[in-house]
Structure 1
Amino acid sequence: MTKRIKLNAVTVNGPTVSPGLWAHPDDRSREYRDLQYWTDIARTLEAARFDSLFFADMLGLYDVYRASPAPALEQAIQVPINDPTYLIPALAHVTENLGFAVTISTTYEQPYPVARRLSTLDQLTGGRVGWNIVTSNLPSAARLYGHAEEIPASDRYDRAEEFLDVAYKLWETSWEDDAEIVDKAGKRYVDIDKVHDIGHVGTHFSVYGTHTVQPTPQRTPFLFQAGSSERGRQFAATHAEAVFLNTPTAGATKTIIDDIRRRAEDAGRDPASVLFFPKITPITGENDEAASARFSDFLSYSNKEGIFTLLGAWTGLDFSTSDDSRKIAFLERADQRGLVESLRRKQPGARLDVDELANVFAFGTSWLSIGGPEKLADAIEEYIEETGADGFNVASVVQPSTVAEFARHVVPELQRRGRVQTEYQPGTYRQKISGGDARVRADHPAAAVALQAGVSR
């Protein structure tokens, strides 16, 4: 049976998706403050049978490049950026099947309000919510949350592990399925014997009391994770039902997928149950020539200051001052081996060509694919077969045109080949995107928490 390729659109609740492209005539991203803009995007995605709209998010300002937030502000690099959770009820109201994945950090928030927020969204959407679990690593975010410095990476993941433990207890153990009885004659809304205090006492959190939201269609929302570090991979192998990857090549993607699936199996989970969504930035048109012209047009709007602002935040390197050896080391880690070899073939002592570097990362570090419908469909199928990925998070260069053009030109070709869905499956987000039940699988840690608490599933 041919493997179905799943499609999410990835965006932010702000004006920038690619550095400098907010100035392109086709870009409407500055309309992010207008609800109609978002409802139009949601309707477009559902018409093309996308699985979900995935919201990335950022809690601080990028201030590594030139040791200042000024370049980020001037070029609108992830700022301004609004909280995406408030969009979801409105977008669910104008769609019937589209899922919504929202990024929420475990680093500076508390488990109960996050669990309450996601439970509320799961109820209002009829079970169409996913949570992209992240830890926050920007010093600027730490300062905004009242910390003198950022929390070390190991501590962030220790906190995240316990954060999930508390959330699972709230979602899976606090209310039994039939606790809400609404007995008007007996004047009892809830059977109090079926609502339980989670009584959590741990290293980072002490949480007493019951969840204040009754069980939702999924209880635990569908869980994404986006970390690719050593600790991030282990966290994903333990908790993630789907993993968002920002990798530039099929080789880099396959390495991470194979590693996390091996770790998931070691953790007692079915490795095939963990889905992988590498990020793709597609530039397309009616044919290859139109796509190539579109790419050249986009590149003319790309902004080097914005690119180096992003790269600085991702790597911790100030590209205005760091020496070439450190920049080349970054390129090697980013799997840009071809560029590294071309740099090394230059005469000794030659400076790193910043224009070349900016062009390579003009549209981020994800897989950039350029071509007409057939060329892109061929490339997508080959990528899936080579890596074992399950689908893609489709990114924009200009918004909403990039994803709309992909939906108009490439999705029908993939549907013709039987690779992407033409109709939605019934059920919750979890059921639609991964099959099975509305609730987490029996081999997931959330199910283990419920079993330990003696709650039937």
Structure 2
Amino acid sequence: MTKQIRLNAFAMNCVAHQSPGLWTHPRDRTKDYNKLSYWTDLAKTLERGRFDGLFLADVLGVYDVYAGNPDAALRNAAQTPANEPLMLIPAMAAVTENLGFGVTSNLSFEPPYPFARRMSTLDHLTGGRVGWNVVTGYLDSAARGAGKDKQTAHDDRYELADEYMELVYKLWEGSWEDDAAIRDVARGIFTDPKKVHRVQHEGNNYRLNAIHLSEPSPQRTPVLYQAGTSPRGRQFAAEHAECVFMSGPSAKVIGPRVSAIRELAAAKGRNAAEILMFSMMCIVVAPTEAEAKAKYAEYRSHISHKGALALMSGWTGVDFSTYSLDQEVRHVQNDAGRSAMDNVTRADPDRVWTVREVAEHVGIGGAGPVVVGSPEQVADKIEQWFEDTGVDGLNVAFAISPGDFEDIADMLVPELTKRGRYKKEYAKGTLREKLFGEGRRKLNDTHPASRYRVKRSAAAE
């Protein structure tokens, strides 16, 4: 059977997201990011294109590594200003029936007890269509906003994250039995107390003694995404993730990362084939090759180089304002994100990047490749990308929104569908069932969350 291509739209509750400067393009609507109608219209467009989900990025803190201040980020709308993403989801769910929502939330600054309730609430309100992209952060400005001098060391953040996951698993999986909320009108009993269990946790970073505040949601644990591909991030993904999001400029970078995570997952006793890999890609499609190239050239004329370097400085922790544009980028290791620096230094030994090339590359869609062409040409390139990397899907970044997503829905999706590489209709059920098959509403038994599942008890008299 031909492997079908999965598509997530990649966006953020901000202006332009990863294409700084493109908000000045006449077709771009992201200036209206703070209006609900922008998001509900986008959700309806994505569902028309049968996208699997909308993957919402988020970042706490401001990009202030470039030149040591936030001026470039502020002037060029480099993910600043940025609003809270979770609040968008119920409104978008209300105007769609099948679209999934993967939302980023930074566990370093979110106490697990209220966060677990927030995600259960979203899972209820969406009918089980929510996923969580687990991140630990990379900006010192976020740590300072939380009262710390700087962020926790890179690998230490993942040690904290492992314990955080144990605690939310206990809340989502182990506090309420499936049939605890009996809604017995005749007896006037809403919840059977015998079927609700207290979670007690004493760890190195967290203490808790409480019951989960939400009754079991359709999925209990939301679909789990993870986006770190550093060596420690891969270990975390292999342990916890159901979907892994990775970014890189070429198949030479992405392919080995896919293989490494699958090997680690198999070593941990998980079915590695059931961890879905999504890589970032920006797609510029038009009816003909000439029109697509002209569109791409127009997009490039709107790039903000300082905005792009403000993003890259934040991702890597390296102040690119101290480099000349034609200077070669050298590897630096610090406590910021590791993958972005690896992408332009050592991940592909055949490629040497200058600062100018980094700015041009990041300026359209971020750290992934940009594919330009007619629907037939783009479909060919995507099929080759899947063959070369082993990924299962794409997180589709945009140059302009919603225009690029409209073009994909109207031109590329019909071509992929004609080739048998794209679903003709949505599968039924929750997001997890749509991704992994009917009857897979809950995490499977090889996932570490399964060890915290509550056992069924006798009913109350």
Structure 2 length-normalised TM: 0.93
| Helix, strand or coil at the partner of 1:19 | coil
C-alpha contact (below 8 Å) 1:248/1:335 kept by paired residues: no
C-alpha contact (below 8 Å) 2:282/2:369 kept by paired residues: yes
State the alpha-carbon separation in 1 of the partners of residues 295 and 212 from structure 2.
51
What is the CA distance between 1:339 and its match in structure 2?
4.2
Q: What residue in structure 2 maps to residue 40 of structure 1?
A: 41
RMSD between superposed Cα atoms in Å: 1.6
**2:386 partner letter:** I
Which of 350, 368, 371 does residue 370 from structure 2 map onto? 368
C-alpha contact (below 8 Å) 1:15/1:29 kept by paired residues: yes
C-alpha contact (below 8 Å) 1:57/1:103 kept by paired residues: yes
State the alpha-carbon separation in 1 of the partners of residues 146 and 397 from structure 2.
29
- The 5 A counterparts of 1:12-411 are 12-17=12-17, 18-322=19-323, 327-329=329-331, 330=341, 331-333=344-346, 335=348, 337-340=350-353, 354-363=355-364, 364-411=366-413
State the alpha-carbon separation in 2 of the partners of residues 218 and 65 from structure 1.
41
State the alpha-carbon separation in 2 of the partners of residues 142 and 338 from structure 1.
34
Q: 1:366 to 1:168 in 2, by over 3 A?
A: same
Q: Does 1:7 align with 2:17?
A: no
Q: Structure 1 unaligned runs (5+)?
A: 341-351
| Helix, strand or coil at the partner of 1:332 | coil
Greater shift, 50-59 or 312-321, is seen at: 312-321
State the alpha-carbon separation in 1 of the partners of residues 224 and 358 from structure 2.
35
Q: 1:328 to 1:240 in 2, by over 3 A?
A: same
C-alpha contact (below 8 Å) 1:175/1:214 kept by paired residues: yes
What is the CA distance between 1:131 and its match in structure 2?
0.4
C-alpha contact (below 8 Å) 2:123/2:222 kept by paired residues: yes
What is the CA distance between 1:332 and its match in structure 2?
2.2
Q: What residue in structure 2 maps to residue 347 of structure 1?
A: none
State the alpha-carbon separation in 1 of the partners of residues 357 and 86 from structure 2.
38
Q: Once the two structures are superposed, what CA deviation does each residue of 1:389-429 show, in whole Å capped at 9, x if it has no partner? A: 10101111011111211111111100110111110111100
State the alpha-carbon separation in 1 of the partners of residues 6 and 456 from structure 2.
33
Q: Once the two structures are superposed, what CA deviation does each residue of 1:332-386 show, in whole Å capped at 9, x if it has no partner? A: 235383445xxxxxxxxxxx5x544432332221121111100000011111112
**2:50 partner letter:** R
State the alpha-carbon separation in 2 of the partners of residues 419 and 328 from structure 1.
40
State the alpha-carbon separation in 1 of the partners of residues 321 and 33 from structure 2.
31
Q: What residue in structure 2 maps to residue 348 of structure 1?
A: none
Q: What residue in structure 2 maps to residue 449 of structure 1?
A: 452
Q: Once the two structures are superposed, what CA deviation does each residue of 1:125-155 show, in whole Å capped at 9, x if it has no partner? A: 1000000000012110001111122111122
What is the CA distance between 1:108 and its match in structure 2?
1.3
Q: Does 1:414 align with 2:416?
A: yes
**2:452 partner letter:** V
State the alpha-carbon separation in 2 of the partners of residues 410 and 182 from structure 1.
47
Q: What residue in structure 2 maps to residue 349 of structure 1?
A: none
Greater shift, 430-439 or 77-86, is seen at: 430-439
Q: How many residue pairs were aligned?
A: 442
Q: 1:357 to 1:236 in 2, by over 3 A?
A: closer
Q: 1:298 to 1:209 in 2, by over 3 A?
A: same
State the alpha-carbon separation in 2 of the partners of residues 279 and 414 from structure 1.
18
C-alpha contact (below 8 Å) 2:49/2:408 kept by paired residues: no
**2:83 partner letter:** N
What is the CA distance between 1:190 and its match in structure 2?
1.1
Identity %: 46
C-alpha contact (below 8 Å) 1:137/1:151 kept by paired residues: no
| Helix, strand or coil at the partner of 1:133 | strand
State the alpha-carbon separation in 2 of the partners of residues 294 and 255 from structure 1.
32
State the alpha-carbon separation in 1 of the partners of residues 349 and 315 from structure 2.
15
What is the CA distance between 1:48 and its match in structure 2?
1.0
| Helix, strand or coil at the partner of 1:320 | helix
What is the CA distance between 1:218 and its match in structure 2?
0.3
State the alpha-carbon separation in 2 of the partners of residues 455 and 163 from structure 1.
25
Q: What residue in structure 2 maps to residue 344 of structure 1?
A: none
What is the CA distance between 1:326 and its match in structure 2?
6.7
Q: 1:375 to 1:133 in 2, by over 3 A?
A: same
Q: Once the two structures are superposed, what CA deviation does each residue of 1:91-114 show, in whole Å capped at 9, x if it has no partner? A: 111000110110001111111111
Q: Once the two structures are superposed, what CA deviation does each residue of 1:4-31 show, in whole Å capped at 9, x if it has no partner? A: 1111101001112201111111111011
Structure 1 length-normalised TM: 0.94
Q: 1:16 to 1:293 in 2, by over 3 A?
A: same
State the alpha-carbon separation in 2 of the partners of residues 183 and 360 from structure 1.
60
| Helix, strand or coil at the partner of 1:199 | strand
| Helix, strand or coil at the partner of 2:33 | helix
**2:61 partner letter:** G
State the alpha-carbon separation in 2 of the partners of residues 310 and 335 from structure 1.
21
**1:438 partner letter:** R
- The 5 A counterparts of 1:430-445 are 430-436=432-438, 437-445=440-448
**1:444 partner letter:** H
C-alpha contact (below 8 Å) 2:177/2:455 kept by paired residues: no
